[in-house]
Amino acid sequence: SDGVTLVCATNLLEALDPALTRPGRIDRIIHVPFPSKKERIEILKHYAKEMPLAADVDLEALAGLTSGMTGADLSNLLNFAAIRAATEGKEQVTRAEVDESFDRLMVGSRRTGVVMKEEERRLTAYHESGHALVALYTPASAPLHKATILFRGSSLGVTWSVEKEDTFSQSEQQCLASLDVAMGGKAAEELAFGAGKVTSGCRSDLVRATQLARAMVTNYGMGFTDSKAPMVIGRQDYLLVSDEKKSRVDEAVQKLLDESYARARRLLEEKRDELTRLAEALLEHETLSAEEVRLAVAGKLRAKPRAEAQQTAEEAGEELHVSSSLSNNEDRKLEKRSAPGSAPTAEERENATDRSAHTRKETHKETRGQVSPTTGPSAALAPSPYAVAAAVEVSELLAERQRRREQGGGGPEKEGKEREKKKSEPGAGEGTAANGR
């Protein structure tokens, strides 16, 4: 009657006190789901309106890869791509920048300046090749997206698969395929180097596989072959279950893991030549898309040009430059959000940018050396300040470059030197769009 409407938001509805949601109080619950593929296309088009996108950027294809992302995630994806393009002096945002931004959100930022021993590098290549081959040859597996032996986040290497259409449930075959892919890394290490050379880098895969196998048995009604009506055992119910039932659960979980490892090992033994070719290709190219993985397995992937190989160090330096240009502003935002006396650590600041996508997006990814979690648009699509700021930065750089050309003042090379000079001055970067998230 007084015209006041109270709106609350939560991601954990079951944790609310029932007294709060009784009739007459906050009794109307509106569920806001993640955007569908069609809605993600519209959101991407909305945020890309002010960006000079190159012709090779396919927003519809990108929408297919971003299942589970929110509007804010999509805005952040395009924003980082625009910032990267502007920092590199490009006149348009190309597919390369969009792909790198997507990978950054999914599996973490690319780490530079870390040198891996050749033995460790080769072992990582075989490990990731094992994941990729099992994903490639297992029919029910999620589509392979990419494999890399470059440091990303806290991982020595990553192989990940992404559903290209929205999915709302998983069949038993799909769960078993996920188990097989997770076991592919350890199986490849053992096959290539022997049982005694298997490393602790397999831990994250085994953790994920064990969690999935236990969920299959206790939550999904899968794995108990001698029961017509398997029971669901939640966390709270587990203490009430008899010791005999707990033992049967453990046996069923172990059986799923044993059978999965045997399938992965058998597949890699049959594809031993393909495993070697793929590992060598990863050692040479470091990152392979799904199509490049197929070419490498068939022995048709072209060798890396010498000139391209010589640019690797320069590209790594550029990646470090982009990351550092963002870090100052990110640090300031984190410090403002932190409670007094609880300043974030350096590791928290490094991972803060990528955390939201990991918790929202359910994706199948296999990593070495890291425990990997597996996890409708807004009513009003207001222009994102991040995307607009990045687009403005691109436009300003292009306008400045045109003025310098007319005045004979040089091109991108000189602009890059001037930007580096400005960064070295006290207070440089404060309030600039290129730093802005």
Helix/strand/coil for 12: coil
Question: What is the predicted pLDDT for the residue at 228?
Answer: 63
Residue 8 is which amino acid?
A: C
Q: Look at residue 357 and tell me if it is in a domain.
A: no
How many whole angstroms from its chain centre is CA 192? 28
* Residue that has been written with the tokens 């955007």 in this structure: 35
Is 109:152 a contact under the CB 8 Å cutoff?
yes
- Same structural domain, 184 and 237: yes
Number of domains composing the chain: 2
Classify residue 431 as exposed, middle or buried by CB count within 10 Å of its CB (0-12, 13-18, 19+): exposed
Asked if the structure places residue 370 within a domain, the reply is no
Residues 151 and 298 in one domain: yes
Instruction: Please tell me the predicted confidence (pLDDT) of residue 368.
Output: 58
CATH of the domain at 99: 1.10.8.60
Asked, for residue 184, whether it belongs to a domain, the answer is yes
180 & 287 share domain: yes
Find, among 286, 309, 222, 291, the residue nearest to 259 by Cα.
Answer: 222
Question: Do 139 and 42 belong together in one domain?
Answer: no
Same domain, 99 and 230: no
Closest by CA position to 114, among listed 75, 171, 164, 153: 153
**Same domain membership, residue 194 and residue 266:** yes
Instruction: Tell me: do 418 and 295 sit in the same domain.
Output: no
Whether residue 318 is contained in a domain is answered as no
pLDDT at res. 371: 34
Binned average pLDDT, 10 residues per bin, the chain of 437 residues = 83 90 88 92 94 93 90 94 93 93 85 80 94 94 91 83 83 94 96 90 92 92 73 76 86 95 96 95 93 92 64 46 39 39 45 41 49 34 44 57 61 49 40 28
**Integer Cα distance of 112 and 119 in angstroms:** 19
- 365 within some domain: no
Last residue of a domain, one of 272, 305, 338: 305
In-domain check, residue 316: no
Residues 52 and 125 in one domain: no
- Termini Cα distance of the chain: 41
User: Which residues form the catalytic set?
Assistant: 128
Same domain, 183 and 136: yes
What local confidence, expressed as pLDDT, does residue 189 receive? 95
- What is the average pLDDT score of the chain? 76
Q: Is residue 358 part of a domain?
A: no
Task: Give 3-state DSSP helix, strand, coil % of the chain, rounded to 5.
Answer: 60, 5, 35
Q: What SS3 state is found at 24?
A: coil
400 and 435 in a single domain? The answer is yes
Render pLDDT for 304-316 as a digit per residue (tens, 0 to 9).
765 555 455 444 4
My answer on whether 127 and 248 are in the same domain is: yes
- Please tell me whether residues 136 and 161 are part of one structural domain: yes
Per-residue model confidence (pLDDT) at position 213: 95
Domain boundary among 273, 305, 337: 305
What per-residue confidence (pLDDT) applies to 340?
40
What is the three-class DSSP state of 125? helix
How far is 437 from 432, CA to CA, in rounded Å?
10
Residue ending a domain, among 245, 275, 305, is: 305
Q: With H, G, I as helix, E, B as strand and everything else as coil, classify residue 95.
A: helix
DSSP 146: E
Q: Is residue 264 part of a domain?
A: yes
Beta-ladder partners of 158: 148, 367
What was the pLDDT predicted at 384?
44
Residue 299: give the domain boundaries: 118-305
* CATH code assigned at 127: 1.20.58.760
Strand partners, 231: none
